Amino acid sequence: MINDTLQNRRYIIAIIMSAVIVVYILRLFSIQILESKYKEGADSNAFLKKTQFPPRGLIYDRNHVLMVYNKPAYDIALIMREIRNLDTLTFCRALNIDKKYFIKRIAEIKDRRKNNGYSSYTPQLFMSQLGIEDIATIQQSMYKFPGFYIQNRTLREYAFPNAAHVLGSIGEVSRRKLESDDYYKQGDYAGRDGVEYTYENQLRGEKGVEILLRDAKGRIKGSYENGKEDIAPKAGVNLTLTLDAQLQILGEKLLAGKVGSVVAIEPKTGEILAMVSNPSFNPSILVGRQRSKNYWALVKDPTKPLMNRATQAQYSPGSAFKPLQALVLQQMGGINEHTMYACSGPASSPIKCTHNHGSPVSLLSAIEQSCNPYFWFAFKNTIEKDGYGEKNLIFRNNYDDWADRVKSFGLGERYTDSDIYEQSRGYIPTEKFYNKVYRSVTGWRAITIRSLSIGQGEVLVTPLQLANTMAAIANEGYYITPHLNKTDSILKHIHHVKVDKKFFPIVNEGMWQVFEFGTGRHFKIPNTSMCGKTGTVQNNHGKDHSIFVGFAPRENPKIAIAVVVENAGFGATWAAPISSLMMEQYIYGKIDRVELLERMSSSITNLDVKER
């Protein structure tokens, strides 16, 4: 009985000792394998691992003209546990900062809510993006400040003070970015907008690591294993844009002193040749330590220079909508090239014409003369060709058919397969929308929505969408998704519009007559066959907007364009000459009409920008 009791105790003691051993093993495994802070602490005693930031990819225009490159910059980093006996005032004077900023920055680094990856053993960013002039004072005295060191990085530099909205900018990564992509650490920088954002993963490259050996007192003794364990950074991939830098510069020059935008597209490829928005800004002001200050100044600017009007502003297209309207109404069988309607000029009803011209009017003349009554009658007789009323489903189907064909030109939706940053949808109203507004189908008919016939009312488009519509008309039935990356395989992104090719020649003929005999005749490029349409668009917030759309040459279109000049009046006064000069520059590589160029670039329209 006694022996049994001793035997049981022996087993109990063995179990306890085994449990203790298992606990120790598990704890050692946790410390050495699972808990990185102990490994970091041990490594930091022997090594200093310095991040080597890769140079971002360069950005070129379509002609391989360099637009964005890099210049040297520096960071001040620290390892918190190594800071000792710091003369804070001397350190602050060397960096030209005050003690209040120093205390605040140290607190931010230690705050795990703001700096999720904080460890006193690993390098933390104290100040970033310092230029050579900022770092010169402290560079020779870093040995006085143990725990702090300098690391290299690069800043963006711009060959031209242009294309800010297209290129975008670099800014410190957000907390969301830190949580979603482990490439980034607190204090890293990434593209915030434009192509810098869209192509961030390609442009950023891959970080490297330099491993430095410490002595027993923590002093740097040189490279570990002569650099054999270092990882070299890998430069970002260069990006070639579809932009023509000289055309972009010209567009910004022509819009100086004006509010508006220019979008030019190569019809056969969908490549964006120029994307101009004014007011704009020099992209270099959003580089480096002055970025935050300058950014908030731009945010507060009432002219909204941060807004890319080319892709985000929405307008009624006005008469620029008529070529598209003519195509869709022919396809739906409401009119043909021989259809005639009467026009009484300004005495016409329910929609007036802007001027007197011959009557009756054919489709060809209606496009050339921009005859409002013609397009009203054509629209009405198309969607009401089978009657209308509460029980008439065909009327509602006709309207849905009209809206669907209009949207097939790229209106009313974002280009989701494009690389263009920040697009507005525009708007093509639906039957459901009108049923809601007017309560029931008996509450609306063609005359209720008559403004749609001339591109006013609820129809909204962006300048990008207008230019793309011209590309589709120039191609006689299709467009390639508009894009900015020259090397992209987006040529596969072909979209066929819902209008047969046979209906395009008469519309193109009418647009050609606009330049030969109509509102664009004064701005025709000599010896060049051009197609276009002017628009003077009503604006509830001030003077009418000046709009022009077109393409050239007619036979083999190389450029499709849309120009909007806000609060400027007639389309033929401002938008048409600007478009013509842009087309001349791209087709011929120069401008011979120097007087027109000087007049357009030096003229100022209404700059009193209100929220739209």
Mean pLDDT value of segment 54-80? 94
Residue 61 has pLDDT above 90, yes or no: yes
The confidence score (pLDDT) of residue 610 equals: 41
Q: How far apart are CA 463 and CA 309, in angstroms?
A: 8
Dihedral sign, CA of 274, 280, 282, 286?
negative
The answer to whether residues 504 and 477 touch, using CB atoms and an 8 Å cutoff, is yes
Q: Residue 124 forms beta bridges with which residues?
A: 78
Which distant-in-sequence residues (6+ apart) come within 8 Å of 26 by Cβ? none
pLDDT band at 8 (very low <50, low <70, confident <90, very high): low
- Decide if 456 contacts 472 (C-beta within 8 A): no
pLDDT one-digit tens code per residue, 92-144: 988 888 999 999 999 988 888 878 778 887 788 898 888 887 888 788 888 88
Whole-angstrom Cα distance, residue 299 to residue 312? 16
Model confidence pLDDT, tens digit, residues 195-252: 999 999 999 999 988 887 766 555 566 677 776 778 889 999 999 999 999 999 999 9
d(CA 370, CA 384): 23
Give the residue with greater pLDDT, 469 vs 79: 469
* CATH 3.40.50.960 holds for 47-240: no
Q: Which residue has the tokens 């489903």?
A: 393
Structure confidence by residue, pLDDT tens digits, 354-406 = 888 888 999 999 999 999 999 999 999 999 988 776 556 788 889 999 999 99
Q: What is the pLDDT of residue 611?
A: 34
Q: What are phi and psi of 520, to 5 degrees?
A: -100, 0
First to last CA, the chain: 98
pLDDT band at 612, cuts 50/70/90?
A: very low
- Parse the chain into domains and list their residue ranges: 47-240, 245-298+307-602
CA distance 318 to 556: 27
Q: Please state which of the ranges 173-182, 264-273, 444-453 shows the lowest mean pLDDT.
A: 173-182
Q: For the purposes of burial, counting CB atoms within 10 Å of the CB of 9, is it exposed (0-12), middle (13-18) or buried (19 or more)?
A: exposed
Three-class secondary structure of residue 511 per DSSP: helix
Its pTM stands at 0.86
Q: For the chain, what is the mean pLDDT?
A: 88
Residue count of the chain: 612
pLDDT at 443: 75
pLDDT, average across residues 300-311: 96
8 Å CB contact between 157 and 69: yes
Convert the pLDDT of each residue in 508-536 to its tens digit.
Answer: 999 999 999 988 899 999 999 999 999 98
In the chain, DSSP finds a helix count (H) and a strand count (E) of 21, 19
pLDDT greater than 60 at residue 65: yes
Q: With pLDDT > 70 as the criterion, what percentage of the chain qualifies?
A: 90
Selected from 3.30.365.10, 3.40.50.2000, 3.30.70.140, 3.40.710.10, the CATH number assigned to the domain covering 245-298+307-602 reads: 3.40.710.10
Residue 59, pLDDT > 80, answer yes
* Beta strands 208-214; 47-52: pairing state: antiparallel
Tokens found for residue 474? 């120039």
